[in-house]
Amino acid sequence: MAIATTASVLACGVDPEPSASGSLSDSADGTLSATLTAGDGSGDSGGTGNTSMSSASAETTTNASSATGPLFDVGQGEDDSGSGTTGPTGPGSCRLSEIYGAAGGYPAYNDPAYDDFDSSVLIMTSHNRLGPNDPVLRVIDISGPPPPPNLNYAAPMYIHPTWLAANFGGGIFGLTLDSYGNIYISASSLWQGSTTPGTIYKIDKDTAAISVFATIPNNGPAFGNINYDCVSQTIRVVSHEDCRIWQLDMNGDVVSTYHHGSGDVSIGAPNDAGEPNGQFCPLGERMWAVQSHYGRVYYSVWWEDGGRPNGAQQNEIWSVAYVDEGGVPDPDTKQLEATIPGLNGANYSNPVSDLSFAATGWMLAAERTMYSDTGTSAHQSTTYELQQMMGTWQVVGTTYVVGELPNSSAGGVDHDFADGGYVWMTGDALDFGTPNVVYGVQGTPYGGGDITNSTLIDHDGDINQQYKTDLGDLEIPIPGDATPPPPPPEG
C-alpha cells in the first residue's frame, strides 16, 4: 500500500451547508446498519460513518419508503420542501436516500424563469457545436404525465443565461450534484479538449451562478467524469493527464489521489515525475467513469476503443474500498468487477463513461463511442445492465436499446426512483427522421425496451438538425424519501 504525503492545491471555498450526525456500522453478522440523527441546521460539519465493505445485504434503522407516483415522476418525499434538500439525516451530508454514497439534491433556483419547475428534473451537459455562445448545460422538467412514446416530447427546459460554452472552456461532459443541489462540472477531454483543462466548476443551487470550485494542474488533457460522495463529503474527478482519481474536499482542497495502474495513493496532491506534461496518460491506466457506492469507489478503465482495438485487453470496471469514512482509497482492496464485451460480436468495445446504481441493486454502465483520445463518434456504444451473481458483477445484456439507429448511447445514464420508473440515457439519433430528428435523452421503463416504449426529448428543441456526438452526461436528483440503492448482494 503506497501512500505519499504532499502539499494540497488550494481553490476557492464554498459556504457550509446544513448537516447532521449519523453513523454506519458493521453488525456481528456482517450486515451494515445505519444510525441516523437529524441535524440542527447550524451549518457545523456533519457526522461520519464507517463505510467498510460488507458481503451481506443492508438493514437500516430508518423506515425510508420507496418513491411512488406516475411513471414519469421521480417522486418527492414529505421532508422535501421545494428542492428536496431539507437537512441531512445520515452520515456526512447524506439524506436517507443517499446513505450508501449516491447523492443529488434538487436545485431550487430563485430565477422567475424557473418558477414552474418542481423537483422532478433531469440535468444534462453537451458540446458547443454552434460556438462559444452555445448553451452546454440545461435542466429538463420531467414532472409531467408520460407523453406518447417514440415521439419528441417538447419538455420545458431551463438554461441560465450564463451557462454558455465560453464560461466552461468549451463543451462539457461530466457532472454531479451534492446533497443540497449544487452542480459540479468537470472540464472535458472530448470534442478536441478544453481551454480550461484543469478546472472544476460549481453551479450554485440558489442563484445558478457559475464559479470555479477547484483547479488541478492539467496542461492539456482534461477530465473524464466526476462524482460527489455524501458520506465523506468529497468530490472525485478522473484526470486524463495523470491517470489519477483526485479527491477534493468541499473547499476545493486535495484530500487524496489514486492511480489505478500503480496503486499509488497520495495524501494531498501527487508528486509524479514529469507531470503535468500536457499528454494523455496511457490506455489501460486511464479511467473515465467514477461512482461512490457502499464504501467503495467504482470506476471504469479505458483499454480500447473503435480506433484502437486491443486484442489482449477489454475495457473494464474496477472498484477500491476506502480506508475509513474519510474516503481515502486503500489500494490493497482494488478488485476487477467486470469486463465489457465487444458489441454485437465485435472484437472491441468502447469505454464506459458513466456508472449508476439503481434502487433494485443492479449497475448501469454507459459506453461512449471513441476512436482516439479526443475523437468521438456514434452508433457503436450501448448501455449495459450488470447484476451481481456469485460474488461478481455480470453483464446481463442490453436491456435498454438506445436510439432508432441502435447502439447510439452517448455515454450518460441515470435512473429515477419511482415505482415503475425510467432509466434515462443520452443518445444520438433517437428519432432519425420518422418524423423528427431527435438527439438528446431517452427514458426507457425499468423493465427494458427501445424507442417504441420510451420517452424521447431533443436536447435543444431543434428537431430538424442532427447534432451527432454533441450529447454529454446526465444526472437526476434523488428524492429525499427514495429507497437508496442497496449494497451488492452476498455472493
Give the per-residue pLDDT at 490. Answer: 61
pLDDT of residue 7 exceeding 70, the answer is no
pLDDT of residue 20 exceeding 50, the answer is no
Quote the cell numbers at residue 399: 436491456
**Cα separation values, 322 from 138, 190, 259, 336, Å:** 33, 30, 14, 16
pLDDT of residue 374 exceeding 90, the answer is yes
Cβ count near 166 (within 10 Å): 14
Q: What share of the chain has pLDDT > 70, as a percent?
A: 81
pLDDT of residue 45 exceeding 60, the answer is no
Confidence band for 37, pLDDT divided at 50, 70 and 90: very low
pTM confidence score: 0.84
Give the per-residue pLDDT at 250. Answer: 98
pLDDT of residue 13 exceeding 70, the answer is no
Higher pLDDT, 2 or 109: 109
Quote the cell numbers at residue 425: 440515457
How high does pLDDT run on average in the chain? 84
pLDDT in tens, 72-92: 333 333 343 334 455 557 789
Q: Under CATH, which architecture does the 112-475 domain have?
A: 6 Propeller (2.120)
pLDDT of residue 36 exceeding 60, the answer is no
Give the per-residue pLDDT at 65. Answer: 27
How far apart (Å, rounded) are the C-alpha atoms in residues 138 and 124? 6
Task: For the chain, count helices (H), then strands (E).
Answer: 0, 28
pLDDT in tens, 404-424: 999 999 999 999 877 778 999
Give the per-residue pLDDT at 315. Answer: 99
Give the per-residue pLDDT at 88. Answer: 57
Confidence band for 46, pLDDT divided at 50, 70 and 90: very low
- What letters, b where the CB count within 10 A reaches 16 and e where it falls short, cover 401-440? bbbbebbbbbbbbbbbbbeebbbbbbbbbbbbeeeebbbb
Q: What φ, ψ does residue 120 adopt, rounded to 5°?
A: -100, 90
pLDDT in tens, 148-206: 999 999 999 999 999 999 999 999 999 999 999 999 999 999 998 899 999 999 999 99
Q: Are 105 and 179 in contact (CB under 8 A)?
A: yes
Higher pLDDT, 165 or 481: 165
Confidence band for 359, pLDDT divided at 50, 70 and 90: confident
Most confident of 9-13, 58-62, 92-96, 260-264: 260-264
Give the per-residue pLDDT at 81. Answer: 35
Higher pLDDT, 274 or 102: 274
CA 228 to chain centre: 8
How far apart (Å, rounded) are the C-alpha atoms in residues 75 and 61? 22
Give the per-residue pLDDT at 489. Answer: 64
Give the per-residue pLDDT at 141. Answer: 94
Give the per-residue pLDDT at 91. Answer: 87
Quote the cell numbers at residue 150: 417514440
